[in-house]
Amino acid sequence: MIIDCHQHTNWHGRTTRDLVAYLDEAHVAKAWVLSWEALDGGREPWYMHLSIEDAFAAAREHPRRFIVGAGADPRREECPALLRRYHRAGARVYGEIKLRILMDTPELVAAFRTAGRLGMPVLFHLEVPRLEGGRLTPWYLGDIDAVDRTLEKCPDTTFIAHGPGWWAHFSADDGAYRSNYPKGPVVPGGKALRLLEKRANLCCDLSANSAYNALTRDPAFGRQFLIAFADRVLYGADFFDTKMLDHLKKLDLPKAAARKILSGNAKRLVP
């Protein structure tokens, strides 16, 4: 069985029907359908509102196929109550959390703690701010140090890291502050790996170009990472392609590690 822990519906012109067709073609049994809600999303041209109701609608239409990710903006005063309501309605994941605010802001910490009490893993998108041509690049949740502070404040909540700001810290060089997709051999001791070693409540997903870039820039190191952290890594795509699945097949991982990554960890976090 393969479970995709990072999918969306009704975005980039792709409907739920398109998503089901893709999953069938990719031989993926189930998917987490994540939403994206930001109260200040209109401030940035990259924001695409992904409705929580659309995620619920997909799950109602295909109850054996989809798991709902309800990504309510934590800055809503009623967010903890909303999360409890969404959980009663069937949501099992809190995410995707992708906001222009430091991750350990009190409102976010309160929402994350509520998710932990409900047994909902928090899937978040990290993108660090950089100056390019004198302008600040798009950023979400701050930097990896903000992630560490949040994990310390929410020890009973499981977090799933995703995005360029996470995977660019795969290497111990300064690549994360030069590019979303740094190239070249990985220098051991990257902040992302050190944080996985330090915080037992942290996992990560393999979705999007950022994860693919991290694992393919130094394939031998990437394979070692997947084996060493097989209990903490979840397969995800974030779009309609199979390039990560194809790469995993080429790596010929031990069967036990592959099972955990492709479905076991997702089933453990969301039974």
58 C-beta neighbours (distance < 10 Å), count: 25
CATH architecture of 3-269: Alpha-Beta Barrel (3.20)
Residue 257 burial by Cβ neighbours in a 10 Å radius (0-12, 13-18, 19+): buried
Q: Give residue-wise pLDDT tens across range 197-249.
A: 999 999 999 999 999 999 999 999 999 999 999 999 999 999 999 999 999 99
Q: What is the mean pLDDT of the chain?
A: 95
Beta strands in 63-144 (DSSP E): 66-69, 94-97, 122-125, 131-132, 135-136
User: Residues 227-241: pLDDT tens digits?
Assistant: 999 999 999 999 999
pLDDT for residue 46: 83
In the chain, where the domains are located: 3-269
Residue 177 has pLDDT above 90, yes or no: no
What 3-state class would DSSP assign to 205?
Answer: strand
Judge whether residue 11 has pLDDT over 90. yes
Residue-wise pLDDT for 16-52, tens only, equals 999 999 999 999 999 999 999 999 887 777 899 999 9
CA 171 to chain centre: 19
Q: What is the pLDDT of residue 137?
A: 86
Residue 120's pLDDT is 98
Q: Is 136 helix (H, G, I), strand (E, B) or coil?
A: strand
Whether residue 77 contacts residue 105, with contact meaning beta carbons closer than 8 Å, is answered with: no
Distance CA 257, CA 243 (A): 19
